[in-house]
Each structure stands twice: as C-alpha cells, then as structure tokens.
C-alpha cells in the first residue's frame, strides 16, 4: 500500500511540474521615458529611482517627479525580475523590488492587483499631465490604479509622498548591483 501511495504522490508531483506556468509579467516604458539613461531605459530607471527615493526631499511637493519615480520602480520590479539581459543581477534585488512595490502601492492607496503595465502607464501619464499643470487629466490617468480613496487622494499623496524606506532600500540595492555588474564587465574587458 505504501508503494501505491508513493507512486501516486510521485505522479502528482510530476504532473504538477508539467502544468503550464503562467506567463511572466511584462512591462514597457512609454516612448517619452525611453530616451533617458544613455540609451538604456533600465539603467536610467535604476539611477533615477535610486536617487529619488534616497533623497525624498527631491520629491517633496513635486507630484510629477514622485509619479515618475514610482513608475520606474514598477518597471524595474518586472524588468529585473525575469532574467533576460539582467539575469546576472543579484537575485535579492528582484525580491526587494517586489516588497518595495507592495509598500508603495499600500502607502499611496493604489490597487495591489493592478498590473505593472497599468501602473506604469497611469503613473507616467499622470506625471506628464502634472508637468503641464493639468490636474484633471492626471486624475483621469490614475483612475486604473487608484484604490478606494480615488484619484484625488492619490494626487494628494503624490504631492506629499509618505516615507518609503523599502523603495529607497530596494532601488539602492539595484543601483549597487548595477555598479557591481558594470565593474565586473570592465574587469572582463581588461582581460581581453
């Protein structure tokens, strides 16, 4: 009887291993954001967001800059989480970015179930509208991301960003990993 149970358990484990995996999240930046970062939008997002969250005074009273930094965090959470060109990045970066995304969404009253692409589009759209002084359009752009407090509450929180220690830590970790990665690549280039 034990042999039958063991065979059945093994069969179930093998079948579960063969079940199709959900597709990985994907995200892209809007064209207006891609030109930043010396031709590499991911590098640009790492550098800009790590600076922004490490120096919260740079975001104080600037909801457009806050929305852009949050959009970069959303983008990095996905982009650095699934290998590709960044597969040599410290795996802890991905874990910490996911925690930071949860922290920022909770602190700003954003929907936790919104897709990363919805968040990136909403935040970059709101940032562009705010830079043009169009608060109504910024609110409309945030509609798909705003939680129970609505878009007015989301805009108010962007203007007075609460402390986001995980965002600062995670984006700083990403910056450090990028610096280490660049240094390793420089060392490999010197060998040849």
Over residues 142-171, the mean pLDDT reads 94
Distance CA 85, CA 70 (A): 22
114 domain residue, yes or no: yes
> Of residues 32 and 140, which shows the higher confidence score?
140
Kindly state whether residue 21 falls inside one of the protein's structural domains: no
Mean pLDDT of 41-53: 94
Query: Is the confidence at residue 104, as pLDDT, over 70?
Result: yes
* pLDDT at residue 173, rounded to an integer: 96
pLDDT of 21: 44
- Give the tens place of pLDDT for each residue, 6-19: 555 455 444 455 54
Residue 164, domain member (yes or no): yes
Is pLDDT of 45 > 90? yes
- pLDDT digits over 178-191, tens only? 999 888 765 555 55
Q: At what angle do helices 150-159 and 116-131 cross, to 10 degrees?
A: 70
Q: Is residue 9 part of a domain?
A: no
2 vs 188: CA distance, rounded Å: 55
Is 41 within the bounds of a domain? yes
The verdict on residue 22 lying in a domain is no
Q: What is the pLDDT of residue 28?
A: 85
CA angle in degrees (0–180, nearest 5) for 92-97-99: 100
> Can you give the pLDDT at residue 184?
72
Query: Is residue 145 domain-resident?
Result: yes
Q: What is the pLDDT of residues 90-102, one digit of tens each?
A: 889 999 999 999 9
Q: Which of 66, 64, 83 lies closest to 26 in space, CA to CA?
A: 83
Tell me the sheet residues that pair with 110.
146
Q: Is the pLDDT of residue 54 over 60?
A: yes
Say which DSSP state 44 is in: H
pLDDT recorded at residue 85 = 74
Domain total for the chain? 1
**What is the Cα 73 distance to its own chain's centre?**
3
- Count Cα atoms within 13 angstroms, Cβ side, for 123: 29
Residue 68 maps to a domain: yes
Confidence of residue 149 (pLDDT cuts 50, 70, 90): confident
Average pLDDT over residues 112-120: 96
pLDDT number for residue 22: 46
The parent domain of residue 161 ranges over: 27-191
């Amino acid at each position: 009887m034990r042999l039958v149970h063991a065979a059945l358990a093994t069969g179930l484990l093998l079948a579960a291993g063969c079940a199709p995996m959900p597709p990985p999240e994907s995200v892209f930046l809007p064209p207006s954001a891609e030109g930043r970062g010396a031709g590499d939008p991911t590098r640009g997002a790492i550098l800009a967001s790590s600076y922004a969250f490490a120096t919260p005074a740079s975001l104080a009273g600037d909801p457009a800059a806050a929305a852009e930094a949050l959009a970069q965090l959303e983008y990095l959470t996905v982009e650095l989480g699934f290998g590709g060109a960044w597969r040599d990045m410290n795996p802890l970066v991905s874990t910490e970015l996911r925690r930071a995304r949860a922290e920022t969404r909770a602190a700003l009253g954003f929907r936790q179930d919104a897709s990363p692409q919805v968040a990136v589009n909403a935040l970059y759209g709101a940032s562009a509208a705010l830079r043009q002084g169009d608060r109504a359009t910024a609110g409309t752009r945030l509609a798909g991301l705003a939680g129970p407090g609505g878009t007015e509450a989301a805009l108010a929180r962007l203007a007075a960003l609460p402390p986001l220690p995980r965002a600062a830590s995670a984006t700083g970790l990403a910056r450090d990993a990028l610096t280490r990665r660049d240094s390793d690549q420089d060392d490999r280039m010197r060998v040849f």
